[in-house]
Amino acid sequence: MIEVRELRREFKVATSKGLRRNYKTVTAVDGVSFDVAAGEAVGYVGPNGAGKSTTIKMLTGILVPSSGRIQVSGVDPARQRRDLAKRIGVVFGQRSQLWWDLPLKDSFDLLRSIYRVPPPDYRVRLDECVELLGLREFLLTPVRQLSLGQRMRGEITAALLHAPELLVLDEPTIGLDLESKERLREFLKDINTRRGTTLLLTTHDLDDIERLCPRLMVIDHGRVLADGPLDALREEVTPDRELVIELKEPGPAPDVPGVTAVRSEANGLRHHLTFRRAETTAAQLITRVVQQVEVHDLAVVEPEIDDVIRKLYQRQVGEHAHR
Ligand SMILES: Nc1ncnc2c1ncn2[C@@H]1O[C@H](COP(=O)(O)OP(=O)(O)OP(=O)(O)O)[C@@H](O)[C@H]1O
């Protein structure tokens, strides 16, 4: 679905020093390569200025690469923008593809004729989005009067009316409240799993990734730092897990093999036992713990996705320092 090879994009930026105007070159994307297969859902994450939006703009034909090769759905995005537009849907959280002064429904009708969607297909698709995204009561409201959450649901509907194979989303949940985020994620998950629409999304909200994307690509300084299933990345960079036990009565932590660190709380009522996922299973540990102490409650805690990504950035900083 997407094939990217050694993609680079530079920008010339003015740096004025006194009255003199100098230019320097910023490399926003610096040799990025990846493939996305049909039906995948991929999260593209990285800190501010990492090169995410620049990549997305090249994938959607808005920016021309300085060098490298891109194929999206069999076409070269910058050279064949019209062909591309028929095959993909694009949603930028910060920009709109709707007509601000028109009722939402009129924007959809206009997009239907622009994309030449046959009316029966259009009705089915629109009905489905309106139903699942709860848009019915806003259809006649001018877009400028919609809340951000309502508008985003409209944007996503607009991007799906021509049934694209790929949906590219740049920060789709930015600024939304928790309920709207959740509703949008549920909808996107559904079109990915049920309809098989490929998803590529950038986000700063790692819950989007956790809920939607089995695969994560991490980019920083224009380069891919990591690419793979979230669980595999978690195992690679955060080898520790934690077993949290709450005892029936306060007491010392059990002394069991496999535990590498202990942190106690609540006057000895709760203990956090750190263990290496590669060396001990949670089941083994729990069996040994309950032989020694009376446990009221327990939970296995995995490192948060934020920790995983932070470690990946730190690892890169470490590598730079060693060069
Ligand atoms: N049109 C432009 N002209 C000059 N520099 C640019 C332009 N667009 C992006 N850049 C620079 O390229 C780098 C990457 O920017 P980009 O917007 O791709 O990052 P991002 O990962 O999307 O960041 P954010 O999370 O803040 O949106 C930054 O240093 C940015 O300043």
Summarised one tens digit per residue, pLDDT across range 19-33 is: 777 889 999 999 999
The Å distance, Cα 67 to ligand 1 centre, comes to 17
Q: Does 8 fall in a domain?
A: yes
Instruction: For the beta carbon of residue 321, count every other beta carbon within 10 angstroms.
Output: 7
- CA-nearest residue for atom 1, ligand 1, is 11
Q: Give me the chain's average pLDDT, please.
A: 89
Q: Both 75 and 154 in a single domain?
A: yes
Q: Both 285 and 136 in a single domain?
A: no
Q: Does 136 fall in a domain?
A: yes
The Å distance, Cα 149 to ligand 1 centre, comes to 25
Ligand 1 neighbours by CB, cut-off 6 Å:
11, 13, 26, 28, 46, 48-54
Q: Both 39 and 138 in a single domain?
A: yes
Q: Give the residue, out of 54, 217, 221, with the most ligand 1 atoms within 8 A of its beta carbon, to mutate for a pocket test.
A: 54
Domain boundaries, position 286: 239-302
Note the pTM of the prediction, 2 decimals.
Answer: 0.81
Q: Does 310 fall in a domain?
A: no
48-63 pLDDT, tens digit per residue, is: 888 999 999 999 999 9
The number of folded domains in the chain is: 2
Gap between the Cα atoms of 145 and 171, Å rounded? 21
| Class of residue 10 by CB neighbours under 10 A (exposed 0-12, middle 13-18, buried 19+) | middle
- Residue that wins the pLDDT comparison between 175 and 99: 99
Is ipTM over 0.90? yes
pLDDT at 291: 92
- Residues 296-318 as b/e (b if ≥16 CB within 10 A, e otherwise) read eebeeeebebeebbebbbeebee
The Å distance, Cα 37 to ligand 1 centre, comes to 26
Q: Does 275 fall in a domain?
A: yes
Q: Both 187 and 282 in a single domain?
A: no
Position 316 confidence tier, pLDDT thresholds 50, 70, 90:
low
